Structure 1
Amino acid sequence: MVSIRLSRHGTKKRPFYHIVVTDSRNPRDGRYLERVGFFDPLAALSDSSLRIDKERAGYWMSKGAKVSERVAMLMKHGSAESL
Structure 2
Amino acid sequence: MVRIRMKSLGRRHRPFYRICAMDARTPRDGRAIEELGHYDPMSRNPETQTVLNADRIRYWLSVGAQPSDKVAAILRRHKVTKPAPGEPWELPKPPAAETPAAAPAPAAEAPAAPTAS
Which letter maps to 1:55? D
1:74 aligns to 2:74 (yes or no): yes
> 1-side partners of 2:38 and 2:21: how far apart?
12
Alignment-mate amino acid for residue 62 of structure 2: S
Structure 1: tracts of 5 or more residues without a match? none
Q: Which residue is 1:15 aligned to?
A: 15
TM-score relative to the length of structure 2: 0.64
Count of equivalent residues: 80
Shift of 1:44: 3.2
4+ runs of 1 displaced by more than 2 Å? Answer: none
2:65 aligned partner:
65
TM-score normalized by structure 1?
0.89
Q: Aligned to 1:4, what secondary structure does the other structure show?
A: strand
The 3-state SS of whatever aligns with 1:60 is helix
Question: How many Å separate the matches in 2 of 1:77 and 1:44?
Answer: 17
Aligned-residue offset at 1:75: 1.1
Alpha carbons of 1:79 and 1:10: their partners in 2 closer, same or farther (altered >3 Å)?
farther
Identical columns (%): 38
Residue in structure 1 matched with residue 35 of structure 2 by the alignment: 35
What is the distance in 2 between the residues matched to 1:69 and 1:62?
A: 18
Instruction: Tell me what 2:96 maps to.
Output: none
Rg (Cα) greater in structure: 2
Q: The residue matched to 1:61 in structure 2 has which SS?
A: helix
Q: Is contact 1:3-1:66 (8 Å) kept?
A: yes
**Which structure is higher in helix share?**
1
RMSD: 1.5
